């Protein structure tokens, strides 16, 4: 039995460009687990948001909220059959983007909808929070070349990264592994992925860190 078999639900989080989806795919393949991915491309408001944030922030956020809530509902069924699930998002951090992008009245409306909509789902057995300097996030976003992401500014990524830091500073709903991904390349450097797997296997609970010096 692998030391990772105890994790039935793993959520990977971090700002845009941190590498959430790539790591989620690698982990699900290694663990032969179900994969639950955020589908940003399905949100018709997202390209408009990056062009005019004030106008399109609320519909963009609500679309994501409904989408993510529908996805995590499936966790109840998966839990019945005992299948491991790896996800590249955490529903509970959805309000992070709402706080960052919505005006006061819009945010109050969002909170009301969230309170009514939020499904009762299990907390992850492990949350992996990927950190990286803003310069690295900008470079990664530019390199992957997704058209609607091109208007994203370094200033927005900096504010987003700070919001993530504040959110996870107080996070205690699940064991948390904070990973500095600046000098890690899980996709192109298999040894980096193996190091991370080894570190996950050593987790005893609470809040722990994984950092590889450059």
Count of domains observed in the chain: 1
Query: What is d(CA 34, CA 117) in angstroms, rounded to the nearest whole number?
Result: 24
Portion of the chain with pLDDT greater than 70, in percent: 95
Query: What is d(CA 185, CA 190) in angstroms, rounded to the nearest whole number?
Result: 8
Any domain includes 104: yes
Residue 76 near residue 82, CB atoms below 8 Å: no
Any domain includes 4: no
Residue 80 near residue 29, CB atoms below 8 Å: no
Give the confidence band of 1 by pLDDT, cuts at 50, 70, 90. very low
Give the confidence band of 213 by pLDDT, cuts at 50, 70, 90. low
Any domain includes 2: no
Any domain includes 1: no
Structural domain that includes position 65: 9-211
Any domain includes 14: yes
The pLDDT tens digits of the residues spanning 157-198 come to 999 999 999 999 989 999 999 999 888 889 889 999 999 999
Give the confidence band of 92 by pLDDT, cuts at 50, 70, 90. confident
The pLDDT tens digits of the residues spanning 60-91 come to 999 999 999 888 887 766 555 567 899 999 98
Look-up: residue for tokens 């409306």? Answer: 109
């Amino acid at each position: 039995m692998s030391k990772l078999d105890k994790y039935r639900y793993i959520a990977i989080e971090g700002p845009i460009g941190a590498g959430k989806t790539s790591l989620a795919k690698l982990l699900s393949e290694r663990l032969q687990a179900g994969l639950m991915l955020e589908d940003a491309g399905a949100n018709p408001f997202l390209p408009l948001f990056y062009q005019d944030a004030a106008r399109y922030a609320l519909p963009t956020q609500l679309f994501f909220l409904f989408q993510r809530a529908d996805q995590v509902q499936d966790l109840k069924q998966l839990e019945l059959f005992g299948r491991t699930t790896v996800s590249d998002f955490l529903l509970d951090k959805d309000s992070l983007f709402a706080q960052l992008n919505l005006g006061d009245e819009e945010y109050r409306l969002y909170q009301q909808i969230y309170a009514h909509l939020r499904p009762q789902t299990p907390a992850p057995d492990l949350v992996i929070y990927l950190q990286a300097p803003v310069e690295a996030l900008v470079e990664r976003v530019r390199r992957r070349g997704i058209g609607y992401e091109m208007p994203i500014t370094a200033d927005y990524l900096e504010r987003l990264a700070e919001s993530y830091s504040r959110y996870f500073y107080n996070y205690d709903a699940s064991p948390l592994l904070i990973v500095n991904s600046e000098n890690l390349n899980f996709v192109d450097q298999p040894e980096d992925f193996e190091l991370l797997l080894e570190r996950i296997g050593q987790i005893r609970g609470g809040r722990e860190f994984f950092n590889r010096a450059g």
